[in-house]
Amino acid sequence: MTALLQIDGVSKQFGGLQAVQALSFTVGKHEILGLIGPNGAGKSTVFNLINGVFAPDGGRVRFRGADITGEPPHRVARHGLARTHQIVQPFMTMTVLENCTVGACFGRQNLPLARARETAREMAVLVGLEDRLEAPASKLTIAGKKRLELARALAAQPMLLLLDEVLAGLNPTEVEHMIGIIRAIRERGIAILIIEHLMQAIMSLSDRIVVLNSGRKLAEGLPAEVAVNPAVIEAYLGDPDLAAKLRSGPR
């Protein structure tokens, strides 16, 4: 498998807290890699290290063979890497179309406005927002805002998409719809690195799983292997529901 993203020995410390320690993994072209772990394991910090919100204290981040370690987010986006946020961050006073157009203008191809609007419209349709193009982002539901966040990231035309808990706060019908969108994104040839706490969803979506605990890699492998790994199950014992889902394996 050809690595699209390589994380080599990356570490990050905040004061006395070692948030990420000597972490290494890869994401292959067109792969969905799940990143799971208990709350506070360092998952969102890893995303922030990849897309340049934080510079690592040690280690390297390579994307498409280029060293992007510590590059700011706008330059990382130019390389073809986009993300969503756990807490959605749309431009509330702008319309759905305008939000997505921003993503296209500042994405991988730095599109001029007219082409950016075309791409923005296409991505809004992909996530099911075609009937809300002129609606202000502030008028969308939580599920709508999550779809908008996803459409704006896609409008940047990434080769790798980082999804930070896009299923959180959604009802079962909305979860099912979002899973369908994620699968459609992969069918377009876009690789995905996804953080998610809905175990059955991430186990069914992911080709491989990386498990973090206290900033370290606890396990890595196929979903079926990770689900029965004793160290992984032990890490989740503080949450009986999650532990039970891990024991039952992916569906």
What is the pTM assigned to this prediction?
0.92
Instruction: Name which residue leads in pLDDT, 169 or 80.
Output: 80
- Confidence class of residue 212 from pLDDT cuts 50, 70 and 90? very high
- Confidence class of residue 84 from pLDDT cuts 50, 70 and 90? very high
CB 190 within 8 A of CB 162: no
What order of strands is seen across the sheet that includes strand 58-63? 17-28, 3-14, 58-63, 66-67
Residue 62 pLDDT exceeds 80:
yes
- Confidence class of residue 239 from pLDDT cuts 50, 70 and 90? low
- The Cα-based distances of 139 to 69, 86, 89, 148, 170 in angstroms read 37, 19, 14, 12, 17
pLDDT digits (tens, 9 = 90+) for 119-142: 999 999 999 999 999 999 999 999
Backbone angles phi, psi at 115, to 5 degrees: -70, -35
Q: Report the pLDDT value the prediction gives residue 169, as an integer from 0 to 100.
A: 87
Q: Report the pLDDT value the prediction gives residue 210, as an integer from 0 to 100.
A: 97
- Confidence class of residue 228 from pLDDT cuts 50, 70 and 90? confident
Query: What is the C-alpha to C-alpha distance for residues 101 and 119, in angstroms, rounded to an integer?
Result: 7
* Domains of the chain by residue range: 1-80+160-251, 89-157
Tell me the CATH number of domain 1-80+160-251, given options 3.30.43.10, 3.40.50.300, 3.20.20.80, 3.30.460.80.
Answer: 3.40.50.300
Closest CA to 146 of 96, 198, 106: 96
Number of Cβ atoms within 10 Å of the Cβ of 167: 20
Residue 248 pLDDT exceeds 80:
no
CB 83 within 8 A of CB 51: yes
Query: What is the C-alpha to C-alpha distance for residues 152 and 101, in angstroms, rounded to an integer?
Result: 7
Q: Report the pLDDT value the prediction gives residue 241, as an integer from 0 to 100.
A: 66
Q: Taking residues 48-70, report their average pLDDT.
A: 96
Structure tokens at 63: 């994307």
- The β-bridge relationship of strands 216-221 and 208-213 is antiparallel
